[in-house]
Structure 1
Amino acid sequence: MKSLSILLLLCISFSAFPADHNILAYGAKADGKTISTKAIQAAVNKCSAEHGGRVIVPAGVFMSGTIVLKNDVELYLAEGAEIKGSANNKDYPQPQSADGKKATWALIVALDVHHIAITGRGTINGNGAAPAFQLGDDTAPGYTGIRPNIITMVNCKDIEILNIRLRNSPHWMQTYFRCENLHIKGIHIYNHANLNNDGIDIDSKNVLIEDCVIDSDDDGICLKSDDDTVPCENVTIRNCIIASNCGAIKFGTSSHSGFRNVNISNITIHKASQDLFRHWQQKVQFVDQPITAIAGISIENVDGGKTDNITIDNVFMEDVQTPIFIKLGNRGATKSKDPASFNPGHLRNVTISNVTAVSHSKITSSITGFPGFDVENVILKNIRITTPGKGTAAEAEAPLPENETAYPEARMFGVTLPSSGLYVRHAKGIVLQNITLQTLNVDARPQIIMDDVKDAQISLLNIEQTQISNAVINLVNSKNILWLNPNVIPSSHPLLTVDGAKSSGITVTGLKRSAGKVKVSATVPDGAVSVD
């Protein structure tokens, strides 16, 4: 009797373990032609109803439309398995979450569920090059097409996306909106079948992205903030390789609530493997190689959000037009019912360190707010930026438009900036520490311009240029600026120029007074500049 009781207990225990559900048993066909949506969905439904487990996709190509993941289901793609998206957009009904909001069409959808995963060594292919999906840019006026993502998840918790290969989405590769506890690890993304081909889009909290390889036409890893009340927050991104034709690491452009507590480290950025749509060298003047990313690091707060506590460390980037682009803007006012009282929020407490970058345009790295609204407390340290140079005196003197409501990207100010290394305007609390700016060719622009900047400190600034033909730093209407121990090779040109009637509290230490090293315009008040 005791033996029978033990046997029954073991049977009950084993029956409680999650089961595997092979989609072949539900009628799926691995012929690359038959639409197997119903069979795969039946396996998912059964798996969830039986307290969860794995839905197994074995080796072979399975055509499918939208698959809806359910609670406690792991979609496992075996080695050699491929789910390939149907080329008929009628196979992608628009999902709707429990709160009544419609979500983006997708091949794999999860709404309001928990404990879900997509794992394995197989591939999910969005079939994005199919003629039915070649509908142009979704930002174009009048765009009404249906182009599904590969993955859309909304209001989900406890998600794992591990090791799979994602290829050729008709639209974004994957998007996670208002999700919590998301772990993406070891995935390989190749996304060059269409426009708007982002790699990973995150608008969630408690997120870890690690050990991923991304090659995308559009943005690589893009943090978004579409909800007016819930920020994108508590995000860690580490140990990733990103190739992109647009923004490799990007915050925005959607930035309604903003971004908080984001830590990014150990990232390699380079050009995408191909460029089927962008052709920046043909479209953007002064881009000096055929394939480039628009920017390596872009932090954009332009829709009223509050962006705070961003740390980025140990980044190597090449093949970028602009290494670093930080922008507080006022685009949200253009969509507000009361533009005059629209609050643009804030962008502050950003630290970027240990970066090596090689750029390929005249569009300098920049940190900019707009009049009356400063970017605050940005630290750049241990940064080395190599630029092509060839800037002209006319470019150095050309006025730069504010353009505060424009689409935020590095070239929103034009195809050149008036400085060759870094441009800072409408900012407070800027620290530049151990910055090396190398210019490969003679450049008539100052290496650094600060315009309407308060409370800045510059130390260990190194300039590597065969011939300095302009000031190293130009300060315009800036206050409380401290430059410690300049170590620039003397030249016939001043190291520092100061302009503007609002300039005050500018101090250079460790520089013996010498004719021509500091040039102060007649508009600057007496006593505004001191040199030790």
Structure 2
Amino acid sequence: MKKTPQELENGQEKSSVVSDALSRRQWLGRVSFPAIAAVGASVMASPALAAQSFVQNSADANSGAKVYNIKDFGAKGDGKTLDTVAVQQAIDACTKDGGGMVLVPAGSFVIGTIELKSNVALHLSTQGRLLGSPDKKDYRAGKGVPEGNGNIVLLYAANADNISIEGRGTIDGNGVAFYTGQGDNTGPNSPGGGYFDRPHLVIFYKCNNLLLRDTFFTKSAYHCFRILHCEQVNIDGIRIYNRVNKNNDGFHFNSCKYVHITNCDVRCQDDACALFGSNQFVTVTNCSFSTRWSIFRFGGGEAQNIAVSNCLIYETYGCPIKISSGRARLENLTFSNIIMRNVTGPIGIGFSGSANRSTGAAHAENQPAEESFVRNITFNGIRATVVSTPVNHPDIPFDVKVYPGEQFSCITLNALGNNFIENVSFTDVHITYAGGGSKELAAKRDIPQTAREYFTVWDPEPSGPPAYGMYARNVKGLTLQNVRFEYQNAEARSAIVFDNVHDAAVSNLSVQGSAEAESTIRMVNSSEVLFAGTRLLSPARAFMKLEGSSARVTVDGGDISKATKPVIYGPGASEKSLKLRV
């Protein structure tokens, strides 16, 4: 049968494919196989060459993924032998080979100062513990770590990248061995000097890409963590229990960027999460904190773009959220969904505009030369119970001094001189105070011009603020929305004092009045203030008192019927100062 041209063409294509295939097979049979066979014979004839090739390929494949067990380097882990050299040798070998995991197996490994290095993951097994030596001679300053606040340390890294500490084991500083009853003496009213040569637990200086995960850090002789001038820091699920010595901080950050802290539990003696200097782009979420002093503490520098959310704060004194700044550029800080139980403070913002260390602006080298400001700070979803005075923690083995100004505390916004705190908002905030404020506190008019620490604002005696809920001085752009202030014991102070506050909006305020207080709200030299929908929860002598040059104050709507008088006027104020529509 005669084939069509198309069939002829397809047949030629198939024939060509078959021919090509056969050609390749023939070529492989006649050329490649003898060549491959010759190479194979050569390899078989040289077993050493084959072994070397395999080892080289294997080493390349495992580069950066090897495990370096510190016991393989001679570590004993018996809780007595000093294993510093063995641990350091394992770290050195790991980083030299391109990185990998340094394994701390089960056991208690006594060490002095250890340097972590680039591309090293220090992994502590569940029963693995690094235990700080009790002998001061086993420690030294971290190479390249500045001296500020001491640089003697147990574990450190400087100018390194890609470091992690992880695993469910323990790093124990054995800090009780260094207790002398002294501290670093940087607190209020201190004479200077101090005990700086005891070891911190961990210091990172100018490191990038740090990961801390799951490990238990405890009993430092000084700060638990000092994380200084680092970037890309991720901290997840670690526990800190640091209450055996003075100045037992939890986290101490200075001028870091891109820091993310989540799912951590911190119980310490001093600042739980100090953010000094120019920390930027920081998030803290889903954490719990307890300490004698403060949780989130800021001082000086350019602290900007920081968000704290979903945190629990309990048994914390000396002010949980404390911003004590001199010459600074602080802005864009948010605190949301926070529960505080049994605290003093609970929020304090002090701003002096001065670079003098007496303002509490720690680390003078971080003070910017440009115009200073503290602005754009938001508090949202805060629930707090505030006690009248600090209480010693039963697991801190020494008494902690109670400063007079810590007692009968309130929310404080305090700027000095010609400086103003700007654009601060409180939304959905409910605080219950212990109360107990006296008439002497209520009568205070000469508030000290200091912003050094929250509690030194109210010294000398009588100590404490003239308000139980909020004292605000030199503030522009203040917003209170759905805020509720209550107290549990008899209270002679006003709930709120505005002193030189301008451009403020207060809406849906619910506030407990007192028959002992002169007024529930006191306005001093304040202007452009609107109260809308305010509810007075209990009888009061007066809802509001106006003093000085207060002007353009409006009270619109709400229920203040429980006040005997809606408004009283002090020196310098008149009925023209107020527009009352209730």
TM-score w.r.t. length of structure 2: 0.80
CA distance in 1, matches of 2:375, 2:498: 17
Shift of 1:144: 4.7
Residue 194 of structure 1: aligned partner: 245
Change in 2 beyond 3 A, CA 1:408/1:102: closer
Residue 572 of structure 2: aligned partner: 523
* 1:497 corresponds to which of 545, 555, 562: 545
CA distance in 2, matches of 1:325, 1:263: 17
Residue 449 of structure 2: aligned partner: 403
| One-letter identity of the residue aligned with 1:520 | Y
* 1:460 corresponds to which of 508, 523, 531: 508
Shift of 1:134: 2.4
CA distance in 1, matches of 2:370, 2:527: 25
Gaps of 5+ in 2: 1-35, 44-49, 389-407
Which residues of 2 match residues 262-411 of structure 1 at below 5 A?
A: 262-271=306-315, 292-302=316-326, 304-330=327-353, 332-333=355-356, 345-361=372-388, 362-404=408-450, 407-411=452-456
| One-letter identity of the residue aligned with 1:74 | A
Structure 1 residue matching 2:536: 3-state secondary structure: coil
Residue 257 of structure 2: aligned partner: 205
Which residues of 2 match residues 27-426 of structure 1 at below 5 A?
A: 27-97=74-144, 104-130=151-177, 132-134=178-180, 136-139=182-185, 141-203=192-254, 204-225=256-277, 231-252=278-299, 255=300, 257-271=301-315, 292-302=316-326, 304-330=327-353, 332-333=355-356, 345-361=372-388, 362-404=408-450, 407-414=452-459, 415-426=463-474
Mark the structure with the bigger radius of gyration: 2
Shift of 1:333: 2.7
Structure 1 residue matching 2:445: 3-state secondary structure: coil
CA distance in 2, matches of 1:483, 1:102: 47
CA distance in 2, matches of 1:177, 1:43: 25
Bigger shift: 117-126 or 86-95?
86-95
CA distance in 2, matches of 1:17, 1:64: 25
Deviation per residue, 1:96-130 (Å, 9 max, x gap): 32899997221001000000011111000001000
Residue 23 of structure 2: aligned partner: none
Aligned residues: CA RMSD: 2.7
CA distance in 1, matches of 2:567, 2:82: 73
CA distance in 2, matches of 1:20, 1:92: 27
Bigger shift: 85-94 or 415-424?
85-94
Structure 2 residue matching 1:358: 3-state secondary structure: strand
Shift of 1:135: 5.2
Deviation per residue, 1:215-267 (Å, 9 max, x gap): 10111111111xxxxx1110000000101111022223xx2x13100000001
CA distance in 2, matches of 1:55, 1:65: 17
Contact 2:515 2:540 (8 Å CA) reproduced: no
CA distance in 2, matches of 1:122, 1:101: 30
Deviation per residue, 1:367-421 (Å, 9 max, x gap): 111121011100011011111112222211123433326x313343233110011
Shift of 1:479: 1.1
Change in 2 beyond 3 A, CA 1:513/1:57: closer
1:14 aligns with 2:61: yes
Change in 2 beyond 3 A, CA 1:98/1:438: closer
1:446 aligns with 2:490: no
Residue 282 of structure 1: aligned partner: none
Shift of 1:518: 1.3
Gaps of 5+ in 1: 226-230, 272-291
Change in 2 beyond 3 A, CA 1:457/1:215: same
Bigger shift: 241-250 or 507-516?
507-516
Shift of 1:133: 4.0
Contact 1:512 1:531 (8 Å CA) reproduced: no
Structure 2 residue matching 1:294: 3-state secondary structure: coil
Deviation per residue, 1:328-370 (Å, 9 max, x gap): 1356235899xxx987821110001101000112111111111
Contact 2:500 2:526 (8 Å CA) reproduced: yes
CA distance in 2, matches of 1:489, 1:235: 39
| One-letter identity of the residue aligned with 1:519 | I
Whichever structure has more helix as a proportion of its residues is 2
Change in 2 beyond 3 A, CA 1:363/1:103: closer
CA distance in 2, matches of 1:109, 1:475: 52
Contact 1:330 1:404 (8 Å CA) reproduced: no
Contact 2:534 2:560 (8 Å CA) reproduced: no
Change in 2 beyond 3 A, CA 1:435/1:513: closer
Change in 2 beyond 3 A, CA 1:512/1:160: closer
Q: Give the % identical residues.
A: 28
Structure 1 residue matching 2:440: 3-state secondary structure: helix
Shift of 1:294: 1.8
Bigger shift: 514-523 or 143-152?
514-523
TM-score w.r.t. length of structure 1: 0.88
Shift of 1:30: 0.6
Deviation per residue, 1:168-196 (Å, 9 max, x gap): 00000011000000011100111011000
Structure 2 residue matching 1:482: 3-state secondary structure: strand
Change in 2 beyond 3 A, CA 1:492/1:46: closer
CA distance in 2, matches of 1:26, 1:33: 17
Shift of 1:9: 9.3
| One-letter identity of the residue aligned with 2:419 | F
Structure 2 residue matching 1:46: 3-state secondary structure: helix
